């Protein structure tokens, strides 16, 4: 299913449903389509918002995790969202982490899936000669447990990006920014309830990364999904939505008083 892309000023985004805002941030090679199943499920209970992150549209100086966080901050303030459940996948998780550390006031909870911010095997490490589509197919397939998830459509999207010299420079700049911007010493400052949903077969941010986030973020819970790679909300949307739904439901239930 495709959703209407709205425009408000310089911001493009999807906004579906009503209720508490569930804001979704996609990763480096991500797109709005990554969240189709998630939007369909949660728009019944939440206002699901997916901003189009300007990964390749910022000037080179601001093509960084910090530059993306500033964009997200301006978007949230412009739309005046409050009580946000902020979710990020991969680089989007990293942006979410920087945002909650800098601007925690509007955030009620944090959801990370395959997030960078501690360690990642990036795609920006080794780039082929432009035009090597089979290499791109192989690298894209590594995102998933099931290589068949790397459809022709997805491979073509990534291939188009990597076949443009300026876009490749920006991809590498973002990947290097993510590696430099290690948040290990700051994660203990996060006070919001945090849900970590990880693929047991994630090769980009392996399971030990999820465990380390769980150890460092005080009020966090960790869920692993078997036979699942770096993008659980795409590969196993049913199980992902069940875990996320359970987490969001718990937040609505007042804590039992002793």
* pLDDT for the residue numbered 33: 77
Per the confidence metrics, is the pTM higher than 0.95?
no
* pLDDT for the residue numbered 119: 87
* pLDDT for the residue numbered 6: 96
* pLDDT for the residue numbered 236: 97
Ramachandran sector of residue 257 (left: φ over 0; alpha: ψ -120 to 50; beta: rest): beta
* pLDDT for the residue numbered 1: 67
Query: Domain 6-120+183-252's class?
Result: alpha beta
* pLDDT for the residue numbered 254: 62
* pLDDT for the residue numbered 256: 43
Average pLDDT, 10 consecutive residues per value, the chain (258 residues): 90 97 91 88 97 91 94 98 97 97 98 94 54 82 90 88 87 90 96 98 96 98 97 97 98 61
* pLDDT for the residue numbered 228: 98
């Amino acid at each position: 299913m495709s959703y209407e892309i709205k425009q408000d000023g310089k911001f493009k985004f999807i906004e579906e449903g009503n209720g508490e805002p569930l804001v979704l941030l996609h990763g480096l090679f991500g797109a709005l389509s990554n969240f189709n199943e998630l939007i369909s499920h949660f728009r019944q209970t939440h206002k699901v918002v997916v901003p189009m992150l300007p990964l390749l549209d910022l000037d080179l100086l601001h093509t960084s995790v910090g530059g993306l966080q500033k964009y997200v901050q301006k978007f949230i303030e412009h739309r005046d969202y409050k009580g946000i459940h902020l979710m990020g996948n991969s680089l989007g998780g990293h942006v979410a982490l920087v945002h909650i550390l800098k601007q925690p006031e509007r955030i009620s909870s944090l959801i990370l899936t395959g997030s960078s911010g501690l360690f990642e095997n990036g795609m920006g490490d080794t780039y082929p000669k432009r035009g090597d589509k089979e290499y791109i197919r192989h690298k894209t397939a590594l995102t998933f447990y099931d290589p068949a998830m790397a459809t022709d459509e997805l491979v073509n999207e990534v291939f188009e990006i990597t076949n443009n010299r300026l876009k490749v420079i920006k991809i590498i700049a973002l990947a290097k920014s993510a590696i430099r911007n290690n948040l290990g010493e700051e994660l203990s400052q996060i006070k919001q309830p945090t849900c970590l949903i990880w693929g047991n077969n994630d090769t980009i941010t392996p399971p030990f990364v999820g465990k380390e986030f769980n150890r460092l973020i005080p009020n966090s819970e960790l869920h692993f999904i078997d036979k699942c790679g770096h993008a659980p909300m795409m590969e196993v949307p049913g199980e992902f939505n069940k875990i996320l739904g359970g987490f969001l439901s718990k937040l609505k239930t007042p804590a039992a008083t002793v």
